[in-house]
Amino acid sequence: MNGRVNPFVRLLNEKLKLLIGTAFGVFLFILFFQPFYLERFDFDDRLLFTGGFGLIVFIISLLMWIFFHLLLHKNNGNGNDYSIGSFMIGVIITILCSVAFTFYLRYVGLVSISFYVVFKVVLICIFPPLVYKLYESYTGLVKQNESLVVERKIIQKQIEHYEEENLNKTIGFISENRAENLTLLISEVIFIQSADNYVEVVYMEGESYKKKLIRNTLKNIELQIKQYSNFIRCHRACIVNLHYIEKLNQDFSSHWITLKKCPDKIPVSRQYLLKLREAL
C-alpha cells in the first residue's frame, strides 16, 4: 500500500505548487488581457468565469501528471522514456485544455466560436506545457549540478588521499659514484637545482630547511624521480616539489615561484611555464 501511496505523495509535493502557480498565471492573463468577449458578465461573474480557466488547467494537468507517473512507475521507464513521455504529456495537456476551453467558452460563456477564438485558445493552452518543460529543465540542471558537486568532492578526497600517500613515500637520490646518497620522504624535498657538476637538494628537516650536494646531473636526478608526480621541472636548472609551491609570480619580463617555508625564489623559464600552470 505504501508503495502505491508514496509516488502520489511525492508527486503532490513536487508538482502541486507548480500546477497551482501555472493555473493562477493563466487566470491572471485572461482576466487582465481579456482575449475573449465576456462583456455580458458583470465583474463578479467575470471573475468567477475566468477562474474556471485556471481550474481547467489545474485539473487536466494534475490528472495527466498522475497518469504519466503511474505509467512510468509501472513500466519502470528509463531516461529516454521520461523525455518522450514528458513531451507527449505536454502535447496532450495542450489538446485537452484547448478542447475544454472551447467547450467552456461556448456552453458556459456563450461565446461564438470562430477560427480566431480557437487560435487564441490554443496559444493560451501552449503556455502551461512550456512552463512545465522549463521547470523540468531547471530542476534537471539543479540535480545535475548537485550530482557534479558530490562527484567533485569524491574525486577531491581521492586526490587528497593519493597525494597524502604519495608524500609519505621515500625517495632516494643516488650519486654517480654511489658514495653520497640521500634518502628522504617526498614531503621533505622542497626543490632540486643544478650546481655545476653537482645537484643541490633542498629539503626540510623538522622546522628548518637544509641543503645537500650530490655528485650527479639534474637530468639523471629527473630520471630517478620521474615516477613521482609531485615533482615538476620549472627551469633548465631546477625541479620543484608541487607541494611546496605557494604562488606563481610574474613581472614584465620574467616568472618565478615563491615557496612555503623557504625564502628561495625559484625562476621559471618560458619553456616550462605552460606545463607548470596546468599542474597548479
pLDDT, tens digit (0-9, with 9 covering 90-100), for 263-279: 788 888 888 888 888 77
Q: Which tens digit of pLDDT belongs to each residue from 147-167?
A: 888 888 877 776 666 666 666
Residues 83 and 141 in one domain: yes
* CA-to-CA dists, residue 78 to 14, 36, 207, 257, angstroms: 20, 42, 58, 52
Do 127 and 200 belong to one domain?
Answer: no
Q: What is the CA radius of gyration of the chain?
A: 35
Check residue 75 and give its pLDDT: 61
Residue 238 above 80 pLDDT?
Answer: yes
Q: How many CB atoms lie within 10 A of CB 125?
A: 24
Give the per-residue pLDDT at 11: 58
For residues 221 and 239, what is the distance between their CA atoms, to the nearest angstrom?
9
- Local confidence band at 98 (pLDDT 50, 70, 90 cut-offs): very high
Q: Do both 252 and 182 map to the same domain? A: yes
Residues 13, 93: one domain?
yes
Which of 161, 182, 201 marks a domain boundary?
Answer: 161
Domain boundary among 137, 161, 185: 161
The tens digit of pLDDT for each residue in 27-65 reads 999 988 888 887 777 878 888 999 999 999 999 998 888
Mean pLDDT of 182-191: 84
Q: Kindly state whether residues 149 and 262 are assigned to the same domain.
A: no
Same domain? For 153 and 223 the reply is no
The mean pLDDT value for 105-115 works out to: 90
DSSP labels, 130-192: HHHHHHHHHHHHHHHHHHHHHHHHHHHHHHHHHHHHHHTSEEEE--TTSSS-EEEEGGGEEEE
Q: Pull the grid cell for residue 260.
A: 612555503
Please indicate, yes or no, whether residues 127 and 7 belong to a single structural domain of this protein.
yes
Q: Are residues 10 and 141 located together in one domain of the fold? A: yes
Distance CA 38, CA 105 (A): 9
Say how many domains are in the chain: 2
Helix 79-103 to helix 115-167 angle (10° resolution) is 160
Q: What's the CATH number where 249 sits?
A: 2.40.50.1020
- Report the pLDDT value the prediction gives residue 1, as an integer from 0 to 100: 45
Range among 125-134, 252-261, 268-277 rated most confident: 125-134
- Do the Cβ atoms of 249 and 255 come closer than 8 Å? yes
Prediction pTM value: 0.57
Backbone phi, psi, residue 50, to 5°: -65, -35
Mean pLDDT score of the chain = 82
Q: pLDDT per residue over 163-181, tens digit each?
A: 666 667 778 777 777 667 7
Residues 243 and 176 in one domain: yes
How many angstroms separate the CA atoms of 17 and 53, rounded?
Answer: 17
Q: What is the pLDDT of residue 197?
A: 81
Last residue of a domain, one of 161, 189, 212: 161
Do 139 and 203 sit in the same domain of this protein?
A: no
pLDDT mean over 197-204: 86
Pair (132, 32) in one structural domain: yes
Print the domain residue range for 21.
Answer: 2-161
My answer on whether 157 and 178 are in the same domain is no
Mean pLDDT on 74-100: 74
- Select the more confidently predicted residue: 62 or 68: 62
Q: What pLDDT, on a 0 to 100 scale, did the predictor assign at position 6?
A: 60
Q: What are phi and psi of 178, to 5 degrees?
A: 60, 20
